Amino acid sequence: MKTVTLKKSRDFSVIRRHPWIFSGAIAHIDGEPESGESVRVVSQDGDDLGKGAYSPESQIRVRMWSFDSGVEVDEDFIFSRVASSVGARAYFLAEGDTNAFRLINSEADGLPGVIADKYGDWVVCQFTSAGAERWKSVIVDALQRLSGCSGVYERSDVDVRVREGLPEVTGLLAGDEPPEQIEINEGDCRYMVNVREGHKTGFYLDQRDNRAIIKTYANNADVLNAFSYTGGFGIAAVTARAATVTHVDLSESALELAKSNTALNTCEMENSSFIKGDVFEVLRKFRDQARSFDVIVLDPPKFADSKGRLMKAARGYKDINLLGIKLLKPGGILATFSCSGLMTPDLFHKVVSDAAVDAGRDVQVLQRLQQACDHPEGLCFPEGLYLKGLLCRVI
Ligand code: SAH
């Protein structure tokens, strides 16, 4: 087997069970591994550290499959990883409270670069690393057998593939084509999901628990759902008898789906409004009009995708949080999020507290929020915690 030898003192993170080996940590490679080929990883002293998948074009040159050098990375190994991952979601399968959840969450499930989300009878996948790509057919076959789905659809149209030297691809991988839209439910909430064109694999499943939290504050409330996408939080609020829900998003098509998702859940359409616009501008306009809300959700897209952009992103987060805090009635609830992996929970906390200081309001943190448990974070892989939020009461 081809072997990757690490530089002296660069084996520390692998010993700490971190699954990424950067190109700069590698002393030499015996042989020329192909894209996605399994390699043995050894320390400078010749200690076996495990097996990983080789990515010749990526800065992340190896992603570890296992820290046990005795394992054979073969079809049985990959199948058993998928089985363990799907098995860990047995609760969701059995509970029936929702029919949409994540089956495989990449590194945290021992399958770096593999995302698989279940939407009703379909599974939608992303393969974002060379190792994942190499084992694609085995993974798809395992998913089909283990989840009992009607079809597996691929949404590998993500730019990280380019860094792996892989083309962006979408399309049916197995079974039947998914319908134009798939209906999912979360408790008593129903949503239509477009798995071919929607964000990520179609829907923000990672916000499920946080949508449920918003429901507990929604009764009779005026709710602002900023960066609404297809309605997620706002529709949860509608089903929990919000007085009014105002969705704001730049995307016409997302708002169209938010509208039909609202209609799917209530006949009182007049209580929901859908504003196409830039949240930064709309919130300023609301401030000038002295509008106020009982509950505000701020769930923006990733503002920072590189370290260089982090400070600019922090200013963006501070701006919207400042405006959001100002728009809340006394005792109002702010659920504010960042899905930028580079924005650490501490930095996010600092940004929101700076916004509170500038707004001149006292703010309590009621709960620290994160991605739902079907999106686990590997304990030795902090990069896996990308979604963080604060549930606040603004006094
Ligand atoms: N809260 C949503 C997910 C938000 S994704 C949910 O739970 O489903 C981010 C959304 O922000 C996208 O729909 C995108 O169209 C929108 N967006 C990005 N920049 C924006 C801006 N400046 N103003 C308004 N919407 C914006």
Atom of ligand 1 nearest to the CA of 230: 8
**185 CA from centroid of ligand 1 (Å):** 21
**Tokens, residue 187:** 């408790």
* Strands 189-193 and 182-186, bridge-based pairing: antiparallel
Residues in the chain: 395
CA-closest residue to ligand 1 atom 6: 232
In this structure, what DSSP letter does residue 207 have?
G
> What atom in ligand 1 is closest to the CA of residue 278?
23
Q: Report the separation in Å between the CA atom of 253 and the middle of ligand 1, taken as the mean of its atom positions.
A: 12
More confident residue, 95 or 109: 109
What long-range pairs does 79-85 form, CB within 8 A, spacing at least 24? 79/138, 79/142, 81/109, 81/110, 81/111, 82/111, 82/139, 82/142, 82/143, 82/146, 83/142, 83/146, 84/109, 84/110, 85/109, 85/110, 85/111, 85/116
Instruction: Please enumerate in sequence order all residues whose Cβ is within 8 A of that of 350, keeping only pairs 6 or more positions apart, or say none.
Output: none
Residue owning the nearest CA to atom 25 of ligand 1: 249
Report how far ligand 1's centroid is from the alpha carbon of 225 (Å): 10
Name all domains of the chain by residue range, CATH numbers in brackets: 3-66 (2.30.130.10), 75-175 (3.30.750.80), 204-394 (3.40.50.150)
Tell how far the Cα of 83 is from the centroid of ligand 1, in angstroms.
34
- Number of Cβ within a 10 Å radius of residue 330: 10
Confidence of residue 94 (pLDDT cuts 50, 70, 90): confident
Is the pLDDT higher at 303 or at 250? 250
Over residues 139-146, the mean pLDDT reads 97
pLDDT at 82 over 80: yes
Report pLDDT for 95.
Answer: 74
- Which candidate, 124, 146, 103, 108, places its Cα nearest to that of 374? 103
Residue nearest atom 5 of ligand 1, based on CA coordinates: 301
For ligand 1, mutation pick of 117, 250, 253 (most atoms within 8 Å of CB): 250
Name residues contacting ligand 1 (CB within 6 A).
Answer: 199, 204, 207, 227-230, 232-233, 248-251, 254, 278-280, 299-301
Determine the Cα angle at 345 with ends 340 and 348, to 5°: 70
**CA neighbor of 126 nearest in space, from 136, 112, 141, 116:** 116
Q: Report the pLDDT value the prediction gives residue 322, as an integer from 0 to 100.
A: 98
The CA-based dihedral angle spanning residues 117, 119, 121, 126, taken in that order and rounded to the nearest 10 degrees? -30
Res 289 pLDDT > 90: yes
Q: What is residue 72's DSSP assignment?
A: -
Contact by Cβ (8 Å): 52, 30: no
Q: Are 68 and 52 in contact (CB under 8 A)?
A: no
CA 25 and chain centroid, separation: 28
The model's confidence at residue 304, banded by pLDDT at 50, 70 and 90, is confident
What mean pLDDT is reported for the chain?
96
**Tokens for 244?**
């009014």
Burial tier of 222 (Cβ tally within 10 Å: 0-12, 13-18, 19+): buried
CA atoms within 13 A on the CB side of 293: 28
pLDDT at 188: 94
> How much of the chain, in percent, has pLDDT values that exceed 70?
100
At residue 287's C-alpha, the angle toward residues 292 and 213, to 5°, is 40
Tell how far CA 291 is from the center of its chain.
32
**308 pLDDT exceeds 90?**
no
- What is the spatial distance between Cα 157 and Cα 168, in angstroms, rounded to a whole number? 5
**Which residue, by CA, sits nearest to atom 23 of ligand 1?**
278
Mean pLDDT of 112-131: 98
pLDDT tens for residues 368-388? Answer: 999 999 999 999 999 999 999
Mean pLDDT of 177-182: 97
Nearest Cα residue to atom 12 of ligand 1: 229
Q: What percent of the chain has pLDDT over 90?
A: 95
With cut-offs at 50, 70 and 90, classify the pLDDT of residue 154: very high
Determine the pLDDT at residue 324. 98
Q: Does position 46 have pLDDT exceeding 80, yes or no?
A: yes
